Amino acid sequence: MKKADVVILGGMSGISAGISCHRHYPDKKVILIRKEGTVLIPCGIPYIFGTVGGPENNVIPDGLLENNGIELVTDEAVNLDRDKKIVYLKDSEEIEYDKLVFATGSEPMIPPIPGIDKKNVFSVKKEFDYLKKVLQKMNEVKDVVIIGGGFIGVEFADECRKTRDINLTVVEMQSHCLQLAMDDEYCDEAKSVLEETGVKVITRDRVVSLNGGDAVESVKLASGKELKADLVILGIGCVPNSKLAEKAGLELGFRKGIKVDRFMRSYTDPNIFACGDCCTKESFFDGKPSGVMLASVATSEARIAGANLFSPVHHNCGVISVFATIINGRAFGVAGLTEREARNNGMEIVVGRAEAPDTHPGGMPQSVQLKVKLIFAKDTGTILGGAVSGGKSTGEMVNVLSACILHRMKANDIVMFQMGTHPALTPSPIAYPIVNAACAAVLPLKDCE
């Protein structure tokens, strides 16, 4: 029987948890168990079908494990004895642990649609060989339907059109694509730039059946429309991969995630931790359960779990929810609450907006117009959220906004923000849109006092 101080079950967030453990406890022996021989970068999966050209160009190098003294065991954990602290593997000898970390991620949600089991209907699994097969099929077909207009669906649509002359339709039952992530004006902008690529977007409609023989041939919608389809992608979200945890008697919480505290310890067993998509999350804003599944959240939780394995070091502040995406060259990002979420939660808010080129002057080559929107609590002036659309700087701008939210900055604090600027790299210091959006909110906030 093998023995280790720490055994980690899982992929990407497991790597982060192992590295964090090694940093804080370099004398501890760490073993990472995973079923997959190769770990894919989850956020990069849509780009396999366009920009990067294949799954082999979207992998996390195992050198990260070796460089941090982490032993890799490629096998599947099939059982767990919590009393004896033993993990049983499918093909290898069992491993005894002192601390165990579940980082088993999530699995694609499969809707109960008639015909869902037909050939050429694919979910978005994080599996190298599976995605290679999907890529091969994608290169052979003409009519593609993507069910779901969230991140996965929209990014797949954008990428799949880049190198192929195919008919591609996205079907979203909400009134907008990306509606769960962005406010309406940003959703409308995203739809517009996606449609410029030739992708057809259908909203306020849902799929009721997938039709054909052994393989899918068409998609029937509730409206009565029938879309020709020789390949279908399911992009409607994921669910926690918590089957082994449930089998081992660990308490599950929201959406059947492993229930953890703010130190990432399981509620059931103080020697078992969990991080990433497989565990429960709470909102930074109100402490309520959150269903957000983002790689940024998973790696943050993994760093916390790894640090806390043998002594409490870090405390999870909750999910802020920070994301960025790019569609047909236009970037979109959100940090914290959208205006819609805030109003739906009954919050009284003040909104500040600003626009500016991302260079100064705006006539410099490749200059892109940035659009920024900030959400502040009406009673305190504290920032609750922000949205950005524009060029590549969008990604780092929403990261700045996340830091502002984390430290509960007020509009006046952001007005006093000192930014580094350069004509080719940033907006003008006079027109810096994050600051100017805060400035736009200051007077209305004063009127509320």
282/317 Cα distance (integer angstroms): 9
187 assigned to some structural domain: yes
192/186 Cα distance (integer angstroms): 10
pLDDT number for residue 60: 85
User: Contact, 5 vs 306, CB < 8 A?
Assistant: no
pLDDT number for residue 440: 94
379 assigned to some structural domain: yes
Same domain, 18 and 98: yes
DSSP label at residue 55: G
pLDDT number for residue 39: 85
Short-list 71, 92, 102, 95, CA closest to 81: 95
CA separation (Å) from 235 to 227, 337, 427? Answer: 17, 23, 36
Domain membership of residue 251 as a residue range: 2-107+239-308
Q: Is the dihedral of CA 148, 149, 151, 156 positive or negative?
A: positive
Is the pTM above the cut of 0.85? yes
8/28 Cα distance (integer angstroms): 13
Question: DSSP assignment of 250-292, as one string?
Answer: --B-GGGPBPB-TTSBBSS-TTEEE-GGGB--BBTTT--B---
Same domain, 296 and 387: no
Examine the fold and report which residue of 178, 204, 236 is the final residue of a domain before the chain moves on: 236
* Crossing angle of the two packed helices 184-195 and 151-162, in degrees rounded to 10: 20
Give me the phi and psi of 301, to 5 degrees please: -65, -35
197/159 Cα distance (integer angstroms): 10
pLDDT number for residue 240: 97
287 assigned to some structural domain: yes
How many CB atoms are located within 10 Å of the residue 29 CB? 16
3-state secondary structure of 38: coil
Which of the residues in the chain have pLDDT under 70? Answer: 447-449
The count of structural domains within the chain is: 3
Short-list 286, 300, 321, CA closest to 401: 321
3-state secondary structure of 413: helix
198 assigned to some structural domain: yes
Same domain, 335 and 438: yes
176 assigned to some structural domain: yes
Question: DSSP assignment of 352-394, as one string?
Answer: EEEEEESSSSTTSTT--EEEEEEEEETTT-BEEEEEEEESTHH
272/263 Cα distance (integer angstroms): 11
Examine the fold and report which residue of 236, 256, 277 is the final residue of a domain before the chain moves on: 236
pLDDT number for residue 163: 84
